[in-house]
Amino acid sequence: GAGVSQTPSNKVTEKGKYVELRCDPISGHTALYWYRQSLGQGPEFLIYFQGTGAADDSGLPNDRFFAVRPEGSVSTLKIQRTERGDSAVYLCASSHQAGGSTDTQYFGPGTRLTVL
């Protein structure tokens, strides 16, 4: 079946602008995760949703970052007043149910964000 999809695949923006990154999870998966990967490093956790609610947002670096999942499916990561340090690949993953015994996270291809 279809995997996790993310749009856009690439986003170039200017410092100070607002961006939205979209994630479509695997159908039927109730848990959704956002990670950020800087060049040469492993992914770092940002936030995860169980259904519509953000169950853990401890990885969001500051209040410029916000994520929503209003209907429990598609999620949008929103970054306000972008800075050059926000440049990274933003990865989304989904799983059947957070914390369950079959809770394997499956990743999308990522969105490469470049802030000029």
Partner 1 sequence: DAKTTQPPSMDCAEGRAANLPCNHSTISGNEYVYWYRQIHSQGPQYIIHGLKNNETNEMASLIITEDRKSSTLILPHATLRDTAVYYCIVRGFGAAGNKLTFGGGTRVLVKP
Q: Count Cβ atoms below 10 Å from residue 38 Cβ, excluding itself.
A: 13
51 forms part of the interface with partner 1 (CB under 8 A): no
Closest of 11, 18, 6, 5 to residue 113, by C-alpha: 11
> Rule CB under 8 A: is residue 104 a binding residue for partner 1?
yes
Q: Which member of 4, 21, 60, 77 binds partner 1 (CB under 8 A)?
A: 4
26 near partner 1 (CB under 8 A): no
Measured between alpha carbons, how far apart are the two ends of the chain, in Å?
37
Stretch that binds partner 1, among 14-22, 64-72, 78-86, 105-113 (CB under 8 A): 105-113
- Which of 19, 88, 93, 115 contacts partner 1 by CB under 8 A? 93
Cα separation, 93 vs 12, whole angstroms: 22
**Residue 81 contacts residue 102 (beta carbons within 8 Å):** no
Q: Which residues bind partner 1 (CB under 8 A)?
A: 4, 31, 33, 35, 41-45, 48, 55-56, 58-59, 91, 93, 98-101, 103-110
